[in-house]
Structure 1
Amino acid sequence: MQDIPRAPEAKMAAAYRDGRDPVSAFEDFMTAFETFKEVNDRRLDEIERRSSADAVTLERLDRIDHALDEQKRRLDHASVKARRPGLAPETGEAAGRAGAGERKAAFETYVRTGREAVHAAGIEAKALSAASPADGGYLVPEETEREIMRRLAAISPIRRIAGSRQVSGTVYRKPFSVAGPAVGWVGETAARPETAAPTLAELSYPTMELYAMPAATGTLLDDTAVDIDQWIAEEVETAFAEQEGAAFVGGNGINRPKGFLSYTTAAESAWSWEKIGYLATGAAGAFPASNPSDVLVDLVYTLKAGYRQNASWVMSRKTQAAIRKMKDAEGAYIWQPPASAGTEASLMNFPVVEAEDMPAISAGSLSIAFGDFRRGYLVVDRVGVRVLRDPYSAKPYVLFYTTKRVGGGVQDFDAIKLLKFAA
């Protein structure tokens, strides 16, 4: 059997080694996807003619599929890195606001040396420590906090598509109407009877402490060419994003946010408020044997029209790989690659967000979510990121115990729907 040349895979591997720029890596990704479609078409043709696919074809398809996933991950990483803004020093009016430049200089002195340069600079300690003692750490300057939050929004999959609020307290409370006031039509001169009062309930989102502890050598801290703000932001972004991602999906709400998969679920036909509705595939741990893409179409239209216009798919890489092989009734692939570097793949014209904390396909799993997450899920950030310098616990390294407080939970139970792989 004549095999397809391995050039696309070889080019993708070369892109990893050579540190190819996002544009070139994207071109290689698209070339490999065309090869993937050709090999998958061969697999489907073999199944139709012989009821089974050739082992060589399956091995080839799996190899390309794995390469596509890895290239997409690296392409996303390169695109995020290219979009990161630098932490330039404040100038002009911003630098003059309430001693912003002095606060930043004092914070850098504390991080590099551990000395409290606040009083020497003529700045009140509370401007940096938020009325906490110096041994409780310093709040990072505003520009550093903004940079950390920008980075989290870029690399944390659920934060990127969810709604967000900043609060100064420990709990964010949001009232909602369970039953609105009685209303009705009346004539021009008819009497207006008194209406019943609305019934209100409350959703609460407590903020929990999330921490990271990057380490630095004394040489790094002594190097004046190193931008300390940038270094801290880079060190904590991945640790924060990984922990947030797991909590926003499956967190139990104890000392962490409550993930949308931790709420009570119900079949869509029996859905009620405070539950997440799901649609069953009809097969335990699998898509239906015939017309598997139909269940995805059904899930799309389970969501109300007002939510669909801003909806996204959320699933893991392995689930996306299974869907990548599917076609619609006209023979077109329902999964489409990103239109350009830095954008998302799409499924039925809705963006696909990869969240590795979503469960893999198995019997009874809730492996695919679809909905308007900006309306459906709320991320609550308490203002302030704190850094405590610890030069003693891991000598000769200096640890920087960095903490922030974040909460989260579902705010609109009708905006998110799930696909359950069950009969």
Structure 2
Amino acid sequence: MTLSPETKSADVAAAFEDFARAFEAFKETNDERLAEIETRMSADVVREDKLSRIDRALDEAKGRLDRLSLDARRPALGGAPGADPAVREHKTAFDLYVRSGEAAGLKSLEAKALSAGSGPDGGYLAPADIEREVLRRLADISPIRGIAATRLISAGQYKVAYAVTGAAAGWVGEGTPRPQTASPALVELTFPAMELYAMPAATQTLLDDAVVDVDAWIAAEVETAFAEQEGAAFVAGDGVGKPKGFLAYERAANGAWTWGRLGTVATGVAGAFPAGNASDVLVDLVHAVKAGYRQNATFVMNRKTQSAIRKFKDGQGNYLWQPPATPGAGATLMTFPVVEAEDMPDMAPNAAAIAFGDFRRGYLVVDRTGVRVLRDPYSAKPYVLFYVTKRVGGGVQDFAAIKLLTFGA
């Protein structure tokens, strides 16, 4: 059943109120815990357990709020009445192929467009509105894609020349000679597009139901599978048959940083924050990033790390981690946005559990145009499988824009 916009809005508002109440309860309990530590040098076990339960409830409330906010923003798929005739023809032919397996219409369209056909793995190109919707949904739920730069390409890889040092410049007087400037140092970066696939299944009864929007169904079925695979690859992918994640690049202590490596700041304690002034290392991490990148920087960490940081306060007793101010917004840490990426490692000896920087300038995601769909009614009868593929790549494009916090000496 499709909910009305008014109902969705009311659900989001209710979820936001639940989240706000959970955070107030968290702050109250944590303040009591801190007071006990100051007076008795230890916290009550029962209170620690209560804080842990509230912390889990806070994560659950935030997850529910995010899901409802995302659902409320999703537009309905479907061709507009005034759409281009060629677009409507493609959509009609694709709908017939998905529902009944009739591919004559799509074959005719590919012949008209002088297409290379169905490709080595078979399948047909989905209409452009499905591709746009899949990419839009991925931007909403794939954590790194949502903050990284994206580029749409038509070839198998994307190459870009990047200036490592930039051109030399200087001041001269009005009548003085202009000396020749030094040439910039350039490096060529290559981002190949790798194949990503998902295989949703449907009953023939669902496909026969004319009320079911098959375009929206396909987009909804593949979004989670694509987002999970992308999320893992953009963080720690090794670049072999998948994008290269930013944690897979060589690292160096920030004081010895050079191009081609990611700079790191260490906590000084294996697998943990320092016992005293724990938040100081976060300040060091923030200021390890140059001011030009810091303006649009974001913290990236997983839920467990965020849970530990949620207890930190500044010198005035204010919590460094702050909940979203409005439904649909994100949490902040020291006024910078926080992105929760479950593929980031937990706090462990020498683990790079927190990343900080301008990911829009630091990490690039490349999408090759075209989402292909192959209908398979035979492999899992009575279900119909849909082998949906897209090509995506990624990697670091500016090594100065991202810094890592490692939990070690």
TM-score, normalised to structure 2's length?
Answer: 0.94
- How far 1:294 sits from its partner (Å)? 1.3
Q: 1:68 aligns with which of 58, 62, 82?
A: 58
Q: CA deviation at 1:198?
A: 3.0
Query: Which stretches in structure 2 are left out of the alignment for 5+ residues?
Result: 1-8
Pair 1:360–1:36, CA change in 2 (3 A):
same
Match of 1:310 in 2: 296
Give the structure 1 partner of residue 356 of structure 2: 370
Q: For 1:21, what is the secondary structure of its paired residue?
A: helix
Give 1:36 deviation, angstroms. 0.7
Q: What is the SS of the residue equivalent to 1:278? A: strand
Distance across 1 between alignment mates of 2:91 and 2:77: 12
Distance 1:386 1:127, change over 3 A: farther
Equivalent residue for 2:100? 113
Counterpart residue identity of residue 109, structure 2? E
In 2, the alpha carbon distance for the partners of 1:366 and 1:312 equals 15
Choose the corresponding residue for 2:378, options 392, 405, 408.
392
Paired residues of 2:264 and 2:403 also in contact (CA < 8 A): yes
Q: CA deviation at 1:61?
A: 0.4
SS at match of 1:417: strand
Shift of 1:153: 0.6
Aligned 1:13-162 pairs, distance under 5 A: 21-92=11-82, 94-96=83-85, 99-118=86-105, 123-126=108-111, 130-133=115-118, 136-162=122-148
Partner of residue 231 from structure 1, selected from 217, 221, 230: 217
Match of 1:355 in 2: 341
* Superposed CA RMSD: 1.8
> C-alpha deviations, 1:11-61, integer Å up to 9, x for none?
xxxxxxxx9811101101111111111110111111111111001100100
Distance 1:126 1:405 in 2: 23
Match of 2:286 in 1: 300
**Could you say what secondary structure the match of 1:118 adopts?**
helix
- The one-letter code matched in structure 1 to 2:347 is I
How much does 1:118 deviate? Answer: 1.1
Residues 285-342 of structure 1 show CA distances to partners (whole Å, capped at 9, x for unaligned) of 1111001111111211111111111111100011000001111111111111111111
Matches within 5 A, 1:132-211: 132-133=117-118, 136-211=122-197
Q: Is the 8 A contact 1:129 1:139 kept in 2?
A: no
| Kept in 2: contact 1:36–1:65 (CA 8 A) | yes
Secondary structure class of the residue paired with 1:125: helix
* Structure 2 residue aligned with 1:12: none
Q: Distance in 2 between matches of 1:341 and 1:129?
A: 47
Alignment-mate amino acid for residue 81 of structure 2: T
Shift of 1:398: 0.7
Question: Percent identity over the alignment?
Answer: 63
Distance (Å, rounded) in 2 between the aligned partners of 1:182 and 1:292 = 41
Matching residue within 248, 252, 266 for 1:262: 248
More off after superposition, 380-389 vs 178-187:
178-187
Mapped to 2, the partners of 1:64 and 1:128 lie a distance apart of: 58
In structure 2, the CA distance between the partners of 1:104 and 1:128, relative to structure 1 (3 Å rule), is farther
Residue 7 of structure 1 is matched in structure 2 by none
Counterpart residue identity of residue 403, structure 1? T
Q: Secondary structure at the match of 2:387?
A: strand
| 2:367 equivalent in structure 1 | 381
C-alpha distance in 1, partners of 2:112/2:33?
Answer: 65
1:333–1:180: structure 2 CA closer, same or farther, 3 Å change rule? closer
Shift in alpha-carbon separation, 1:57–1:421, aligned structure 2, 3 A? same
Cα distance in 1 for residues equivalent to 2:286 and 2:181: 37
CA spacing shift, 1:167–1:36, aligned 2, 3 Å: same
Q: Residue by residue, what CA displacement relative to the aligned partner does 1:78-115 show, whole Å, maximum 9, x if unpaired?
A: 111111111132222x333xx11111000011111111
Deviates more, 1:24-33 or 1:186-195: 186-195
Output the CA distance in 2 between the equivalents of 1:25 and 1:272. Answer: 46
Worse-superposed segment, 202-211 or 64-73: 64-73
The amino acid of 2:212's aligned partner reads V
Aligned counterparts of 2:99 and 2:35: Cα–Cα separation in 1: 64
Decide whether the 8 Å contact of 1:36 with 1:61 is kept in 2: yes
SS in 1 for 2:164: strand
Comparing 177-186 with 71-80, greater Cα deviation is found at: 177-186
CA-to-partner distance for each residue in 1:224-273, whole Å, 9 max, x for gaps? 11101010000000000000000000000000000001111111100111
Q: Distance in 2 between matches of 1:128 and 1:342?
A: 41
Alignment check: 8 A CA contact 1:103 1:128 kept: no
TM-score by length of 1: 0.91
State the SS of the aligned residue for 1:274. Answer: coil
Q: Distance in 2 between matches of 1:194 and 1:128?
A: 51
- How far, CA to CA, are the matches of 1:330 and 1:357 in structure 2? 33
Match of 2:273 among 276, 279, 287: 287
Paired amino acid for 1:76: D
Structure-2 residue corresponding to 1:3: none
Partner Cα distance (1:102, 1:312) in 2: 43
Partner Cα separation in structure 2 for residue 295 and residue 198 of structure 1 = 35
| Inter-CA distance 73–119: structure 2 relative to 1 (3 Å threshold) | closer
Q: For residues 340 and 354 of structure 2, what CA distance do their matches in structure 1 show?
A: 10
- Note the 1:328-347 alignment, pairs <5 A: 328-347=314-333
Counterpart-to-counterpart distance in 1, 2:280 and 2:272: 13
1:10 corresponds to:
none
SS in 2 for 1:166: strand
Whole-Å Cα distance in 2 between the matches of residues 374 and 53 of structure 1? Answer: 42
Are residues 1:418 and 2:407 paired?
A: no
The residue aligned with 1:13 is: none
In the alignment, the residues of structure 2 paired with residue 210 and residue 30 of structure 1 have an alpha-carbon distance, to the nearest angstrom, of 38
| In structure 2, distance between residues paired with 1:57 and 1:195 | 66
